[in-house]
Amino acid sequence: MLKNRIIPCLDVKNGRVVKGINFVDLKDAGDPVEQAKIYSDGGADEICFLDITASNENRETIYDVVKETSKKCFVPLTVGGGVRSVEDINKLLNCGADKVSINTAAVQNPSVVEESSKKFGSQCIVVAIDAKKNGNTWEIFTHGGRKETGINAIEFALKMEKSGAGELLVTSMDKDGTQSGYDIELMKTISESVNIPVIASGGVGTLDHLVDGIKSGASAVLAASIFHYGTYSVNEAKQYLASKDIPVRI
Amino acid sequence: MNVTIVDYNSGNISSVINSFTEVAKGTVNLEVTSDLKKIKSSDKVVLPGQGSFKSCIDALNSINGLTDTLSEFVMIDKKPLFGICVGLQMFANVGYEETETKGLGWIPGKVSKIDNKNGRYKLPHIGWNQINIVKDSKIFKDIENNSHMYFVHSYEFIPEDKNVISATTDYSSNIVCSVEKENIFGTQFHPEKSDKIGLKIIENFMRL
């Protein structure tokens, strides 16, 4: 039976983990490579890096991080943030990323999704959808959630599926950072609309939120802070999901 | 011992390189190349593959003499070869991704799209699934039945001779996820992404 995935996400800025917690035995709390290794040793099903480096001159730092991580972690690694072109994707994959997540570029220039999924295969193309509730539906935002687009999130999800996305990483902008749980309606609506796997993101504060995310129809749940700040370990999260009869890899 | 990972522009093979490098750790001479002479003289060959069946076959064919060299390695010299993901799928005679495409024909069979039961199952089949080991395979030495492996694919290999199947996995149906025919080995899942247990499979192949 296919298991539901738990994906811890690390925010990386200028090659360093942002707000990383000092785990026991961790020499350098800011080192993304060490943090990723702790997650993968702890049973993370995949690892996700979100590069939030603002300046262009420091953008190269993520490539070194990916290179080093992929030599030490042997679970799938997804990298997103600032991915603009097919060439950016190529570079990240060559450094050892297994999947690349595309947000703003997928909206501005959907051919990036089409071209890259043809060239590298759908399995490595994740489209990140940042959505915000607007009346009865959801609208997508770009530029890290700062810029509204007027584009309907469900229509966009369907378009991305057609363009060759292998997975959708759906983040609720209303919920992100609130620790009040995923936007369940959003996850449910998108999961039911598309035939590709959905990764739920944005808003996790408790282990029950992870359970709700999976029950909404998402194939995987992504969380940053609850793991980041050591509130729960990945293993604790998995044990909890298993206790709620949700199939996970233990 | 010389092990060659065939680099034929089949998409992203860095994870395959990293995992084999980790297992080799200086004890095995690992080459990543499409050089025909080097492939011929290797003791073992790894054939990765990402993207579509057609794109991988096209990429193999675009390197002059590569498919012949590989076929000779496998079918005449009978040396061990390990196909991963589309690398395994290409063992078939024919694949139906994008368009009907002739495969390498080393293990008779076809590669078709996984039945998603009218949308009840998501495709690609992505994530960790358990393998049911159905016959003793050398690459499964010390691997427990029902171990979890990492999958990502939408197409499946259906061999004509069921005796070549070494493991299956349950998704929308029973999917072939590993084959062994004499010196030919293949996994649909990604041992290079399946954590320690995946590295063990790689080690088993290297130690053959």
Counting one residue from A and one from B, how many pairs have CB atoms under 8 Å apart? 100
Q: Number of structural domains, chain B?
A: 1
The boundaries of the domain holding residue A149 are 5-243
Question: Range of B18's domain?
Answer: 2-206
Active site residue A51: no
A49 is a domain residue: yes
CB contacts, 8 Å: A3 with chain B: 127-129, 148
**What is the least distance, in Å, from the CA of B62 to any CA of chain A?**
15
Q: What is the CATH number of the domain that holds A60?
A: 3.20.20.70
pLDDT at A230: 84
Contact A4 B127 (CB under 8 A): yes
Spell out which residues of chain B touch residue A197, defining contact as CB-CB under 8 Å: 122, 124, 126-127
Q: Which residues of B touch A120 (CB under 8 A)?
A: 11-12, 50-51
Domain contains A250: no
Choose, from B156, B180, B192, B203, the residue flagged as catalytic.
B192
Task: Write out the DSSP string of A43-87.
Answer: T-S-EEEEE---SGGGTTHHHHHHHHHHHH--S-EEEESS--SHH
Q: What is the CATH number of the domain that holds B103?
A: 3.40.50.880
Marked catalytic residue, from A31, A130, A183, A212 = A130
A248 domain-assigned: no
**Pairing assessment for the beta strands A147-152 and A137-142 based on DSSP bridges:** antiparallel
Catalytic (active site) residue B160: no
Q: What is the pTM of this model?
A: 0.96
User: What ipTM was estimated for this complex?
Assistant: 0.94
Residue with tokens 């929308």: B172
- Per-residue pLDDT reduced to its tens digit, A40-96: 999 999 999 999 887 777 888 999 999 999 999 999 999 999 999 999 999 999 999
**Which candidate from A40, A96, A220 shows the least CB-CB separation from B15?**
A96
Q: Flag whether residue A219 sits within 8 Å of chain B, measured between CB atoms.
A: yes
A79 in any annotated domain: yes
Q: How many distinct structural domains can be found in chain A?
A: 1
Stretch B91-116: mean pLDDT, rounded?
97
A119 in reach of chain B (CB within 8 A)? yes
Dump pLDDT digits (tens) for A124-147: 999 999 999 999 999 999 887 888
- How does pLDDT run across B16-73, given as a tens digit for each residue? 999 999 999 888 999 999 999 999 999 999 999 988 999 999 999 999 999 999 999 9
Q: Which residues on chain B are in Cβ contact (under 8 Å) with A235? A: none
Cβ contacts of B12-15, under 8 Å, gap ≥ 24: B12/A93, B12/A94, B12/A97, B12/A98, B12/A120, B12/A124, B12/B50, B13/B48, B13/B50, B14/A70, B14/A93, B14/A94, B14/A95, B14/A96, B15/A70, B15/A74, B15/A96, B15/A98, B15/B190, B15/B192, B15/B193
> Which one, of B78, B187, B110, lies nearest residue B143 by Cα?
B187
How close does chain B come to A195, measured CA to CA in Å?
5
Asked if residue A249 belongs to a domain, the reply is: no
